[in-house]
């Protein structure tokens, strides 16, 4: 009996050695199969005020992967999905689950800046590749920048900087700002204030309420009393729908122009209807951008998901495009991290938004468009700032 066991053990050992030796000689395709699937962790909001944003990002991401034959660097893909609920307190646990339990090769997320700040810390601590397809927290590609952290969306101050410049050029003298009180809103409003005041305007009051509250009435009353030349806001998702409707219901859209970061009217026009007509916003995307990539992207998205894409879908699509560049450069070998991130950092993407490159901190350099709501479209009426980069202040890369 013992002799049989020893013989079996020896056969097992010989087979293992033979298998290992053979795998060194495997041609590319077989070697890739040996590495198994590329595991992608999608950590996004699928409930709450940002739920639609998480879904659009997921759709856009999967569309680009499907257009790449459903593979990455020749390898099949397995998705792991977590609903982060836009809750920063749950973010470390959620990110750790994907990294430690599911052993993902890459984390993709998220929408909310507070959640993304926590995710990026976990990604840095574990040296996990992270691609951010929305959350704009300036710090992530500034002082907290890292070789393994990339963003395909924007930084929060970019949209405010662009709109502050446009409003100053339109000779508006006074502004009131209103936002949810967290990194995204603070930085968006900060960008607006910086360029509006540099252009000769004055922000006379900065109003805010906790995320994701939508009781706007007292703020609207205060705005009516202050009578600024313009109101700049940061809201997105379900909160943006409610704010635009409340602003119109209070009659303020007839007396005080409302402008905002483009999230105010992106993916929301169906629900906002008449209340959104004529609103000016700044964003790195516009529905009707007439370039071949955007036309093809919009048609493919509509065919796949039976709905119009928005900026979030574009950012998810570009997150996958960026990953494809990196994984192709290492022919599917995710262990070649230095080569992979070098290729991602140097990527020039053909994005539906136009051309997209990354700065030293891995944040997009892109045109910021001025858009006007016409019917169900955010119509591009100009370029507010060409090739806007965000100086990666404090980034040591």
Where does this chain bind ligand BEZ (CB under 6 A)?
Answer: 111-113, 134-136, 156, 184, 236, 263
In this structure, are strands 106-108 and 38-44 parallel, antiparallel, or unpaired?
parallel
Q: Please, what is the minimum distance in Å from the beta carbon of residue 73 to ligand BEZ? A: 30
Q: Which is nearer to ligand BEZ, 267 or 326 (CB)?
A: 267
- Which pair of structure tokens corresponds to residue 130? 């992270």
Q: Please, what is the minimum distance in Å from the beta carbon of residue 356 to ligand BEZ? A: 17
Q: Please, what is the minimum distance in Å from the beta carbon of residue 272 to ligand BEZ? A: 16
Residue 206 DSSP label? E
Question: CA separation (Å) from 40 to 71, 124, 198, 334, 345?
Answer: 12, 17, 43, 12, 19
Q: Which is nearer to ligand BEZ, 156 or 177 (CB)?
A: 156
Q: Which is nearer to ligand BEZ, 136 or 361 (CB)?
A: 136
Q: Cα torsion at 181, 182, 183, 188 (round to 10°)?
A: -30
Q: Which is nearer to ligand BEZ, 111 or 329 (CB)?
A: 111
Q: Which is nearer to ligand BEZ, 183 or 329 (CB)?
A: 183
Residue 193 near residue 163 (C-beta atoms within 8 A): no
Nearest one of 171, 167, 165, 281 to 233, comparing CA atoms: 281
Q: Which is nearer to ligand BEZ, 128 or 156 (CB)?
A: 156
Q: Which is nearer to ligand BEZ, 181 or 360 (CB)?
A: 181
Q: Which is nearer to ligand BEZ, 184 or 280 (CB)?
A: 184
Give start and end residues of each alpha helix (H) in the chain: 2-25, 28-35, 51-67, 91-96, 113-126, 156-169, 183-198, 217-226, 237-249, 269-272, 292-305, 311-329, 337-345
Q: Please, what is the minimum distance in Å from the beta carbon of residue 159 to ligand BEZ? A: 8
- Which pair of structure tokens corresponds to residue 383? 């370029």
Q: Please, what is the minimum distance in Å from the beta carbon of residue 128 to ligand BEZ? A: 20
Give CA angle at 373 (370, 376), nearest 5°. Answer: 135
Cβ atoms within 10 Å, residue 393: 12
- Please spell the DSSP secondary structure of 33-87, one letter per residue: HHH-PEEEEEEE--SSTTHHHHHHHHHHHHHHHHHTTT-BTTB-EEEEEEE-TT-
Residue 330 DSSP label? T
């Amino acid at each position: 009996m013992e002799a049989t066991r020893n013989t079996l053990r020896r056969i097992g050992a010989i087979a293992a050695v033979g298998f290992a030796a053979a795998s060194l000689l495997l041609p590319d395709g077989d070697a890739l199969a040996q590495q198994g699937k590329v595991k992608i962790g999608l950590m996004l909001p699928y409930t709450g005020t940002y739920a639609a944003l998480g879904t659009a990002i997921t759709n856009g991401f999967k569309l680009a992967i499907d257009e790449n034959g459903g593979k990455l660097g020749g390898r099949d893909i397995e998705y792991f999905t977590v609903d982060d609920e836009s809750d920063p307190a749950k973010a470390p646990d959620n990110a750790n689950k994907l990294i430690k339990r599911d052993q993902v090769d890459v984390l993709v997320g998220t929408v909310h800046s507070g959640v993304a700040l926590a995710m990026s810390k976990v990604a840095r601590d574990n040296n996990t590749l992270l691609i951010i397809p929305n959350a704009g927290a300036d710090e992530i590609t500034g002082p907290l920048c890292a070789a393994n952290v990339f963003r395909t969306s924007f930084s929060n101050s970019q949209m405010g900087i662009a709109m502050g410049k446009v409003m100053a050029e339109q000779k508006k003298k006074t502004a009131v700002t209103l936002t949810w009180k967290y990194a995204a809103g603070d930085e968006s409003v900060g960008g607006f204030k910086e360029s509006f005041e540099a252009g000769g305007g004055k922000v006379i009051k900065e109003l805010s309420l906790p995320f994701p509250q939508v009781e706007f009435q007292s703020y609207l009353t205060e705005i009516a009393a202050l009578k600024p030349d313009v109101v700049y806001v940061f809201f997105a998702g379900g909160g943006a729908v409610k704010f635009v409707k409340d602003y119109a219901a209070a009659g303020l859209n007839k007396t005080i122009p409302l402008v905002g970061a483009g999230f105010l009217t992106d993916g929301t026009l169906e629900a906002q209807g008449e209340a959104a007509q004529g609103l000016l916003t700044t964003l790195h995307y516009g529905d009707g951008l007439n370039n071949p990539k955007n036309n093809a992207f919009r048609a493919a998205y509509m065919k796949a998901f039976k709905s119009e894409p928005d900026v979030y879908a574009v950012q998810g699509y570009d997150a996958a495009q960026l990953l494809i560049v990196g994984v192709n450069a290492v022919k599917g070998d995710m262990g070649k991290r230095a080569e992979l991130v070098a290729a991602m950092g140097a990527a020039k993407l053909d994005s539906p938004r136009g051309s997209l490159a990354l700065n030293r901190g891995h944040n997009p350099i892109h045109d910021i468009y001025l858009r006007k709501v016409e019917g169900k479209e955010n119509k591009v009426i100009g370029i507010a700032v060409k090739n806007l980069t965000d100086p990666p202040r404090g980034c040591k890369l």
